[in-house]
Amino acid sequence: MNDFVMNAAGILSNCSGRAGACFSWNGEWLEAGSCDVFSSASLIKLPILLTAFRLAEKGNLDLNEKVKLRDVEKTGGAGVLQALSEDAVLSVQDLLTLMITVSDNAATNWVIEKIGMTKINETIEGLGLVDTKLNRKMMDLDAIQSGMDNFTSPADMVRCLQAINEGDFVSEDSRQKMLAILQKQQFTDKLPYNMDKDLIYAGNKTGELPGIEHDCAIIKYRDTTVYAAVMIDQLEQKEWGRKTISEVGKLIYEKLLVGKG
């Protein structure tokens, strides 16, 4: 795997921003570039997802509960809820799905309010995510300006993906539901961009803010599972970040299918 790490590091070094990546390849831990702390952007939605399913298993959250859109506060940024009729009714699981597949900020904020920031941070701590913290809701620009941002690292996101796909943090039923949600991701222009999803399983969650482009993914092919997290900040142009991350994804894909690297 040394060639893979060297090639990934080369791709990251050509990016104008600060870039870091972490991978777990069939259990082998690999890092490239800066693996320090980054503003999480929407990657913070993964531990929120895990918290919700964990609480549902304990009987503390009903995934089938119906939510009227008039009771969901509209926010800016990504999402579709702000475009729907206030008469629409969705389940909690629908809101979790929108939180991941279209990164819906209104759905995310409703979930944070429903289950509580404290519970989410308890999950983060329980998973051993040492660099991750939920300090604010989505699109809370005042909080960001006052220094109350959400943070994570490539290594923490790989651990979060592992908790979704393996281990005993959640039940097999919850695991399959979360993997199905991730596979339905609508933003696939980063890690999965060059991948044939008819050949492999690829479930990802992106994140972006001005100057920031992130993506993390679970990628499976035959008997190989790869967890990948690539984070870039300090970008002058977001397209540089997206191009860099998609090139890393292509490198993973080629290594999986034809042994390049």
Task: Return the pLDDT at 247.
Answer: 98
The mean-pLDDT minimum among 80-89, 96-105, 127-136 falls in: 80-89
**Per-residue pLDDT averaged across 241-253, rounded?**
97
> What is the second-level CATH architecture of the domain 2-258?
3-Layer(aba) Sandwich (3.40)
Task: Return the pLDDT at 260.
Answer: 47
Task: Return the pLDDT at 259.
Answer: 62
pLDDT band at 34 (very low <50, low <70, confident <90, very high): confident
d(CA 241, CA 232): 6
- Reduced to 3 states, what is the DSSP secondary structure of residue 39? strand
User: What's the whole-number average pLDDT of the chain?
Assistant: 94
CA-to-CA separations, 254 to 8, 195, 221, 257, 261, in angstroms, rounded: 12, 9, 11, 5, 7
Task: Return the pLDDT at 65.
Answer: 97
d(CA 104, CA 152): 19
> Does 76 have pLDDT greater than 80?
no
- Tell me the torsion sign for CA atoms 180, 182, 187, 188: negative
Task: Return the pLDDT at 148.
Answer: 86
Q: Beta strands 89-91 and 66-68: pairing type?
A: antiparallel
> Does 181 have pLDDT greater than 80?
yes
**Per-residue pLDDT averaged across 12-16, rounded?**
94
For tokens 């509209």, the residue is 74
**Per-residue pLDDT averaged across 69-86, rounded?**
82
> Does 120 have pLDDT greater than 70?
yes
**Per-residue pLDDT averaged across 117-126, rounded?**
97
d(CA 139, CA 142): 9
The mean-pLDDT minimum among 23-37, 178-192, 205-219 falls in: 23-37
Among 229, 213, 226, 218, smallest CA distance to 261 is for 226
Q: Name the DSSP class of 115.
A: H
Any alpha helices (H) in the chain, and if so which ranges? 2-13, 45-57, 92-101, 105-115, 117-126, 141-145, 154-165, 172-183, 238-258
For residue 156, report the phi and psi dihedrals to the nearest 5 degrees. Answer: -65, -40
CA-to-CA separations, 180 to 8, 104, 107, 124, 155, in angstroms, rounded: 28, 17, 18, 22, 23
Instruction: State the Cα angle at 234 between 186 and 118, rounded to 5°.
Output: 65
For residue 247, report the phi and psi dihedrals to the nearest 5 degrees. Answer: -70, -35
H or E stretch covering 152:
strand 151-152
Among 44, 18, 3, smallest CA distance to 207 is for 44
**Tens-digit pLDDT profile for residues 129-155:** 999 999 999 877 777 777 789 999 999
With pLDDT > 90 as the criterion, what percentage of the chain qualifies?
84
> Does 37 have pLDDT greater than 60?
yes
> Does 261 have pLDDT greater than 50?
no
Angle of helix 2-13 relative to helix 238-258, nearest 10 degrees, comes to 160
Among 140, 135, 143, smallest CA distance to 77 is for 140
